Every structure is written in C-alpha cells, then in structure tokens.
Amino acid sequence: MPNPTTTPQTALPHPVAYNIAQAAKVLGIGERTLRYLIRAGQIRVARVGRRVLVPHSAIVEFLERGGVEQVLYGHVAVRKARVEALA
C-alpha cells in the first residue's frame, strides 16, 4: 500500500477561489474595476468572515456570458472578456 505522505497529489489546474487581487489579474482588469463589477452584480463572490473571495466558477460564468460590453466607472472602460482568457 502506498504511503500517503509520499504519494504525489493531483493538483487542480486552477484555484477554487481567488482573492480580489488574484481575480483581477486573471481577468486582466484592475482591482477597482473588479470591485465595481461585484457591486453591480456582474460577478458572484463568497464571503468568508471579512474576506471576499471570487470562485473560479464565477469568473467562468462571467466570461461565458460574454463579460460586459462596457462598464463605465469614472474613466475606466472594461472591454468584452472572452472565455479563452482562462484556457
């Protein structure tokens, strides 16, 4: 029987959830824009205590919906995102 401490673990191809900085980087947008999209209900989040986490599935859902054509927040415009960004 293999020893569980020496058996290699199968790594997930991506994290289950991202913090705000990581999710913004994955989407190629700024943290401020991501927070705006969260407040606007465009991206689903999970709250763990005071932490805000963006599930990987929420990012995929957002991209599959076509992202947003244009969201204006001050002078920031978000271009349409594509699913290939995560591939």
| pLDDT, position 74 | 45
Please report where in the chains the tokens 């599930």 appear, as a residue. 55
Domain ranges within the chain, ordered by starting residue: 17-86
| pLDDT, position 13 | 84
| pLDDT, position 7 | 57
Q: Round to whole Å and give the CA distance between 24 and 62.
A: 13
pLDDT of residue 81 exceeding 80: no
| pLDDT, position 14 | 84
| pLDDT, position 75 | 42
Span 21-41, average pLDDT: 93
| pLDDT, position 22 | 97
Q: Which fold has domain 17-86?
A: Arc Repressor Mutant, subunit A (1.10.10)
| Residue 54, strand partner residues | 18
Q: Which residues of 22-57 are buried (b: 16+ CB within 10 A; e: fewer)?
A: ebbebbebeeebbbbbbeeebbebeeeeeebbbbbe
